[in-house]
Amino acid sequence: MSEVSIRNVFKSFGAVKVIQGISMDVANGEFVVLVGPSGCGKSTLLRMVAGLESITSGEIAIGGRVVNNVEPKDRDIAMVFQNYALYPHKSVYENMAYGLRIRGLPKAEIETLVQRAAATLELTELLKRSPRELSGGQRQRVAMGRAIVRQPAVFLFDEPLSNLDAKLRVQMRAELQALHRRLETTTLYVTHDQVEAMTLAERMLVMNQGRTEQIGAPLEVYTRPATTFVAGFIGSPPMNLIPGRIDAGGGALVTAGGETVRLPLAVPALGGREVLLGVRPEHLETCDPAAALLTPDINFVELLGSDSLVYGYLGADKRGVRLAARLHATSTRAHDGALPLRFEPENLHVFDPATGRRIEV
Amino acid sequence: MAAEKRAYFPVGWLPYALVAPQLAITLVFFMWPASQAIWQSLLIQDAFGLNVEFVGLLNFRELFADPYYINSFKVTAIFSVTMTVAALGVALVLAACCDYLIRGVQVYQTLLIWPYAVAPVVAAVLWSFIFNPTLGILTYALHTWFGVTWNHMLNGNQALTLIIIAAGWKQISYNFLFFLAGMQAIPKSLIEAAAIDGAGPFRRFMTVVLPLISPTTFFLLVVNIVYAFFDTFGVIDATTQGGPGQATQVLVYKVFKDGFMGGDLGGSAAQSVVLMVIVMGLTVVQFRYIERKVKY
């Protein structure tokens, strides 16, 4: 058991700067998810923790020991790869025992450890099989078994579920959570899937283009996104962002096209400022025209059964601001064309259009 | 595979016409000479072809009673096994080193392929110059530094060593290419997983890389043995011509010597037939086991 510290880490491949100064402290036993779009550097960061990539500058410490120049095998970590990386010529048992054999453990002890790990992951029946005789989910479990059998200080997962089909992914997600609760091993988990990030993480690090966008608990990231990037990345469909200027009284936003969005709470401090106003599709609800805060023109509805996704534009012509709302299936049927919508004050987000940073209101 | 569904098309003359040239070549240049060899191996004739007699298997009986022929088998075995092991071993080490490199792989790869472009006979001539008893630079080096007197024209073991080097040298390039391709086809994450599991470079090579390239190794083993058995005529003819004595008299060279220089056409044909049987055996082995492929 140990903690991981990432201190102002940079990584360049030649002239390409992949990681540009990331710092994070992962507590002992914590489950941290690194999330971001593909190419944001999250896998590279994980591989730097594993020791598979060199660190251009900065420090990474595991259990209080700086490991910049420590070989992967001496870092006391285990890694699960996206393609599982099982040894195809070894049986499931041998795959799991390989690391223990190299460490020179006595045969009896290897047997005990492998059997115990296999029992945890329900692999006992499969120990004699070779990887090619296993299904995707089983291979995934063997890869996890190979990681847990060594009882490392830190688990590293590199998009472990992305090769599985949707149903299996949900199941494995739950198993991963259960496993972490039982083992309480410090875990770094890379994914581009925001649902995986939200459900698995105790804390998440949202990355974009090699930089930190936000570090926080999933709910905190969802309710108080630090930047417009996070607002767009976490949540589906992404948060509506309406550019405009707050009027002098601070009670409404006026878009470039002259449309007005009334604010559910007055922000006199921001009067006259250019801002991006953010509200999540699922926080919009229908209301009487008199109580409406904004009234977009609806031109497209997706019925999902439990609810509907409604798309429209703020402004008469289609050059206006595009909006999405997640509404109860029943409430959309009557509406066509102009749809009056409202939202609660706590669901109002304001961002600085120049920096993309959140402005507290 | 058995349950594979195939599409059938009505066939006209076209498929036959397309296959015909290949069939004609096979028949004229392979089947006909082979059948001639088999027929001739059952005959004894004088060198001018004036007197031909059918003798059944007499040629074969004489062959296997001939101590020179048995010796030729031994020489061939030593030659082909040593050459194959050496050529595979050196190529494997070079490929492993190249695979371990990150920069400059292309340069090494290109340089290491060059010997393959040299014709075997030319390679043999080059090596016999290098080892020439009076002029050779390596002969000189061996004598000055190690006190070894090199004269492959007198010393049978040295002659055998020379043809092993000359024949194996260009095979290294070929083997290297296949080994490197095999190693680079191994997913990088497997090597990384082994590194995280605690294996150092040598251990990774022995426990992960080597087992995973075993189909390549097996393929090369067969190809190299076939090469050593049948394609080294030029090398031997250009360097030792089977000598000194019988020291480098491999089977293919003995066929030539007995048939065209000794004038024993029947015995020579019988030797060809024996070689044919060996090729067939090797081919069967190759086709039966080569299909095993590693799945990742």
HEC profile of chain A: CCCEEEEEEEEEECCEEEEEEEEEEECCCCEEEEECCCCCCHHHHHHHHHCCCCCCEEEEEECCEECCCCCHHHCCEEEECCCCCCCCCCCHHHHHHHHHHHCCCCHHHHHHHHHHHHHHCCCHHHCCCCHHHCCHHHHHHHHHHHHHCCCCCEEEEECCCCCCCHHHHHHHHHHHHHHHHHHCCEEEEEECCHHHHHHHCCEEEEEECCEEEEEECHHHHHHCCCEHHHHHHCCCCCCEEEEEEECCCCCEEECCCCCEEECCCCCHHHCCCEEEEEECHHHCEECCHHHCCECCEEEEEEECCCEEEEEEEECCCCCCEEEEEEEEHHHHCCCCEECCEECCHHHCEEECCCCCEEECC
What pLDDT score does B293 carry? 54
Question: Which of A13, A29, A144 lies closest to A82, judged by CA?
Answer: A144
Whole-number Å distance between alpha carbons of A256 and A243: 8
Question: Which of B225, B262, B233 lies closest to B250, judged by CA?
Answer: B233
Question: Which of A242, A297, A50, A71 lies closest to A157, judged by CA?
Answer: A50
Region of A8 on the Ramachandran plot (φ > 0 left; ψ -120 to 50 alpha; else beta): left
Specify the higher pLDDT residue, A344 or B138: A344
B201 interfacial to chain A (CB closer than 8 Å): no
Read off the pLDDT of residues B23-51 as tens digits, 9 standing for 90 and up. Answer: 999 999 989 988 988 888 888 877 677 77
Dihedrals phi, psi of A173, to nearest 5 degrees: -60, -45
What pLDDT score does B175 carry? 93
Read off the pLDDT of residues A190-248 as tens digits, 9 standing for 90 and up. Answer: 999 988 999 999 999 999 999 999 999 999 999 999 999 999 999 888 999 999 999 88
- Mean pLDDT for B223-242 is 84
Chain B residue nearest residue A98, CA to CA: B197
CB A320 within 8 A of CB A197: no
Average pLDDT in chain B = 84
Query: What is the strand order of the sheet A31-35 is part of?
Result: A77-80, A154-158, A186-191, A31-35, A203-208, A211-216
Q: Which positions in chain A touch B192 (Cβ < 8 Å)?
A: 50, 52, 72, 79, 81, 85
Tokens of residue A266, six digits = 């007055």
Whole-number Å distance between alpha carbons of A247 and A230: 26
Question: Which of A249, A274, A259 lies closest to A320, judged by CA?
Answer: A259
Specify the higher pLDDT residue, A184 or B58: A184
Long-range Cβ pairs for the range A133-140 (8 Å, 24+): A134/A92, A136/A163, A136/A164, A136/A165, A136/A168, A137/A164, A137/A168, A137/A171, A137/A172, A139/A84, A139/A86, A140/A80, A140/A84, A140/A164, A140/A172
Burial A184-207 (b: 16+ CB within 10 A, else e): ebbbbbbbbbbebbbebbebbbbb
Whole-number Å distance between alpha carbons of B250 and B93: 28
Peptide bond into B244 cis (omega under 30): yes
Q: Which positions in chain A touch B211 (Cβ < 8 Å)?
A: 89
Task: With CB atoms and an 8 Å threshold, state whether B192 touches A81.
Answer: yes
What pLDDT score does A332 carry? 56
Q: Which residues pair with A301 in a beta bridge?
A: A310
Residue A89 has its nearest CB partner, among B195, B203, B212, at B212
Please report which confidence band the pLDDT of residue B291 belongs to, taking 50, 70 and 90 as the band edges.
Answer: low
How is chain B split into domains, by residue range? 63-294
What pLDDT score does A31 carry? 94
Q: Which positions in chain A touch B190 (Cβ < 8 Å)?
A: 85, 87
What pLDDT score does B151 carry? 80
Q: Give CA angle at B187 (B184, B191), nearest 5°.
A: 95
Please report which confidence band the pLDDT of residue B1 belongs to, taking 50, 70 and 90 as the band edges.
Answer: very low
Choose the weakest-confidence range: B13-22, B141-150, B163-172, B178-187. Answer: B141-150
CATH class of B63-294: mainly alpha
Q: Which positions in chain B touch A188 (Cβ < 8 Å)?
A: none
Local structure of B290: helix, strand or coil: coil
Residue A85 has its nearest CB partner, among B189, B199, B211, at B189
Task: With CB atoms and an 8 Å threshold, state whether B194 touches A87.
Answer: yes
The pTM score is 0.79
Whole-number Å distance between alpha carbons of B78 and A286: 91
Whole-number Å distance between alpha carbons of B227 and B144: 35
Whole-number Å distance between alpha carbons of B165 and B128: 10
Task: With CB atoms and an 8 Å threshold, state whether B212 touches A88.
Answer: yes
Local structure of B44: helix, strand or coil: strand
Q: What ipTM was predicted for this assembly?
A: 0.80
Read off the pLDDT of residues B157-201 as tens digits, 9 standing for 90 and up. Answer: 888 888 898 888 888 999 999 999 999 888 889 999 999 988 888
Residue labelled with tokens 């050459």: B83
Rounded to the nearest angstrom, the gap between the alpha carbon of residue B285 and the centroid of all alpha carbons in its chain is 15
How deeply is A269 buried, as exposed, middle or buried, from its count of CB atoms within 10 A (0-12, 13-18, 19+)? exposed
Chain A residue nearest residue B197, CA to CA: A99
B265 interfacial to chain A (CB closer than 8 Å): no
Residue B189 has its nearest CB partner, among A72, A81, A103, at A81
Percent of chain A with pLDDT over 90: 45
Q: Strand A186-191 to strand A31-35: parallel, antiparallel, or no bridges (unpaired)?
A: parallel
- Mean pLDDT for B247-274 is 83
Mutation target vs B (from A102, A114, A158; most B CBs, 10 A cutoff): A102
Tokens of residue A223, six digits = 């309710």
Give the helix ranges, DSSP H, for chain B: 14-26, 32-40, 58-65, 67-100, 105-117, 120-130, 137-141, 156-184, 188-196, 201-204, 210-212, 214-230, 233-239, 251-256, 265-289
A328 interfacial to chain B (CB closer than 8 Å): no
The sign of the torsion formed by the CA atoms of A129, A133, A138, A139 equals: positive
Q: Which positions in chain B touch A98 (Cβ < 8 Å)?
A: 194, 197, 199, 207
Whole-number Å distance between alpha carbons of A338 and A314: 9
B198 interfacial to chain A (CB closer than 8 Å): yes
Peptide bond into A218 cis (omega under 30): no
Q: Would the pLDDT of B294 be above 70? A: no
Specify the higher pLDDT residue, A319 or B67: B67
Specify the higher pLDDT residue, A95 or B155: A95
CB B215 within 8 A of CB B292: yes
Mutation target vs A (from B186, B192, B197, B204; most A CBs, 10 A cutoff): B197
Q: Which residues pair with A246 in a beta bridge?
A: A253
Mutation target vs B (from A83, A105, A139, A146; most B CBs, 10 A cutoff): A83
Read off the pLDDT of residues B70-85 as tens digits, 9 standing for 90 and up. Answer: 888 888 889 999 999 9
Please report which confidence band the pLDDT of residue B112 belongs to, taking 50, 70 and 90 as the band edges.
Answer: confident
Residues 166-195 of B with CB under 8 A from A: 187, 189-190, 192-195
Tokens of residue A304, six digits = 């999902």
Choose the weakest-confidence range: A353-357, B93-97, B185-189, B239-243. Answer: B239-243
B210 interfacial to chain A (CB closer than 8 Å): no
What pLDDT score does B2 carry? 47
Amino acid letter, B293: K
Please report which confidence band the pLDDT of residue B238 belongs to, taking 50, 70 and 90 as the band edges.
Answer: confident
For every one of its 361 residues, what pLDDT tens digit does chain A have, with 9 covering 90 and above? 588 999 999 999 888 899 999 999 999 999 999 999 988 999 999 999 999 999 999 999 998 889 999 988 888 899 999 888 999 989 999 999 999 998 888 999 999 999 988 888 888 888 999 998 888 888 988 998 999 898 899 999 999 888 888 888 888 888 889 889 988 899 999 999 988 999 999 999 999 999 999 999 999 999 999 999 999 999 888 999 999 999 888 888 888 888 888 999 888 888 889 999 999 999 998 888 888 898 888 888 888 888 888 888 887 666 678 889 998 876 655 556 788 899 999 999 999 999 999 998 7
Q: Strand A297-303 to strand A337-338: parallel, antiparallel, or no bridges (unpaired)?
A: antiparallel
Using alpha carbons, list the distances in angstroms from residue A324 to A240, A260, A264, A341, B19.
Answer: 7, 17, 18, 11, 65
Please report which confidence band the pLDDT of residue B290 belongs to, taking 50, 70 and 90 as the band edges.
Answer: low
Task: With CB atoms and an 8 Å threshold, state whether B294 touches A72.
Answer: no
Task: With CB atoms and an 8 Å threshold, state whether B196 touches A50.
Answer: yes
